[in-house]
Amino acid sequence: MSIVIVGLGNPDTEYKGTRHNVGRAAVQAFAKKFDFNDFEFDKKSNALISEGKVGKAKMILVLPETFMNKSGESVRKYVKSVKAAAELVVVHDDLDIALGKAKMSFNKSSGGHRGVQSVINHLKTESFYRIRIGISPSTAKGVIKKPSGADLIDNFIVASFKPKEVDELKSINKKIVECLETSATDSFARAMGELNGAF
């Protein structure tokens, strides 16, 4: 069985570098560090796929080429059962976490994230891992300034990061890459403990 890592985001170039695409960017950073094969389009799953190994673990990286709210259509081609979902990590943006932070969780609800909900709907389980990347601004004391209102949120998540925020994102991506490496070479439990303990 291979570990499946999914980076959620929107496929068009206009969304590159936006808040909603941080999951996709993190998985691409992981692929680059470990010299995975170039991503290739798989027509059957409508996703960009790259395969490789980290340590002894075989890994499949999946970047759905659907829009966010249909991500599960691509994921179900690589995760065939509830048992297999235990080897799945979905990496995505999270409005409830401050920019510069990330959390790993298992068997949680979507929290309103449409991409995650699509994965849950298609796999018929919540029993998979998620790496949630913070995208909301915060005060100097760390209080999250989460946008409210459907229109405001929709505009916020597809907006590009400011230059200072890009630097923060690079720092967090490094930790996420390390987390995914630990998931492959040690265990998901250790990876989760180390990432969550870093913040």
Residues sharing a CB contact under 8 Å with residue 140, sequence separation 6 or more, in sequence order: none
Residue 163: pLDDT band (50, 70, 90) is confident
Mean pLDDT of the 46-69 span? 96
CB 101 within 8 Å of CB 79: no
Mean pLDDT of the 95-104 span? 94
Q: Check residues 167 and 192 and name the one with the higher pLDDT.
A: 192
Total length of the chain: 199
- Per the listing, tokens 């695409």 go with 21
Is residue 75 predicted with pLDDT exceeding 90? yes
Cα-to-chain-centroid distance, residue 72: 13
Which positions are annotated as active-site residues?
A: 20
Is residue 135 predicted with pLDDT exceeding 90? yes
Instruction: Give residue 189's identity as a one-letter amino acid code.
Output: A
Mean pLDDT of the 124-145 span? 91
Residue 12: pLDDT band (50, 70, 90) is confident
Cα torsion 56, 75, 106, 50: sign:
positive
- Rounded (10°) angle between helices 163-185 and 188-197: 150
Residues sharing a CB contact under 8 Å with residue 156, sequence separation 6 or more, in sequence order: 19, 147
Q: Structural domains in the chain?
A: 3-197 (3.40.50.1470)
Residue 146: pLDDT band (50, 70, 90) is confident
pTM summary value: 0.95
Q: How far is CA 149 from CA 59, 67, 114, 141, 152, in A?
A: 38, 21, 16, 24, 5
Q: How does strand 57-64 pair with strand 129-136?
A: unpaired
- Per the listing, tokens 């936006």 go with 18
Residue 142: pLDDT band (50, 70, 90) is confident
- Give the burial class of 42: count Cβ atoms within 10 A of its Cβ; 0-12 exposed, 13-18 middle, 19 or more buried: middle
Is residue 159 predicted with pLDDT exceeding 90? no
